[in-house]
């Protein structure tokens, strides 16, 4: 049963530190999404890739966040420097070509102190 995997599952860090979250999309999927989930804002789309090219990152704070796909099996979301307001659950999702369905990973729960 193919699944999206995310690492780490939990991360506690101090303000100002760099945080890197990793996602392995389902093999063969060509779209990758990064979302942030908080109680106050709900689920927010941060970035969206198709065939490893960024199509939309308008939801991402550009000054501290960056998202990349070094290859088809790895997507990364980096925060530098991190701030307490970045505390949230970050989800990665992937989707196959020609389908609108997204398959979500289990999330990375980030706490910035």
Partner 1 sequence: GDSVTQMEGPVTLSEEAFLTINCTYTATGYPSLFWYVQYPGEGLQLLLKATKADDKGSNKGFEATYRKETTSFHLEKGSVQVSDSAVYFCALNDYGQNFVFGPGTRLSVLP
SS3 call for 56: strand
Q: Which stretch binds partner 1 (CB under 8 A): 11-19, 62-70, 75-83, 98-106?
A: 98-106
Cis peptide bond upstream of 81, omega within 30 = yes
If one counts every other C-beta atom within 10 angstroms of the C-beta of residue 5, the result is: 14
Q: Which residue has the tokens 């996602």?
A: 23
Asked if 1 touches partner 1 (CB under 8 A), the answer is no
Region 36-65 residues binding partner 1, contact defined as CB under 8 A: 42-43, 45, 48, 56
Residues that contact partner 1, how many (by CB under 8 A) = 18
Interacting residues with partner 1 (CB under 8 A): 4, 33, 35, 42-43, 45, 48, 56, 91, 93, 100-107
């Amino acid at each position: 049963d193919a699944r999206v995997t995310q690492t780490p599952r939990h991360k506690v860090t101090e303000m100002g530190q760099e945080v890197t979250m990793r996602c392995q999309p389902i093999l063969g999927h060509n779209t990758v999404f990064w979302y942030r989930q908080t109680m106050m804002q709900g689920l927010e789309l941060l970035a969206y890739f198709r065939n490893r090219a960024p199509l939309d990152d308008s939801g991402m704070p550009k000054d501290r966040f960056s998202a990349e796909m070094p290859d088809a099996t790895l997507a990364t979301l980096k925060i530098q420097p991190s701030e307490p307001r970045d505390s949230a659950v970050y989800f990665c999702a992937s989707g196959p070509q020609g389908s609108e369905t997204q398959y979500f990973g289990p999330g990375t729960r980030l706490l910035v102190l």
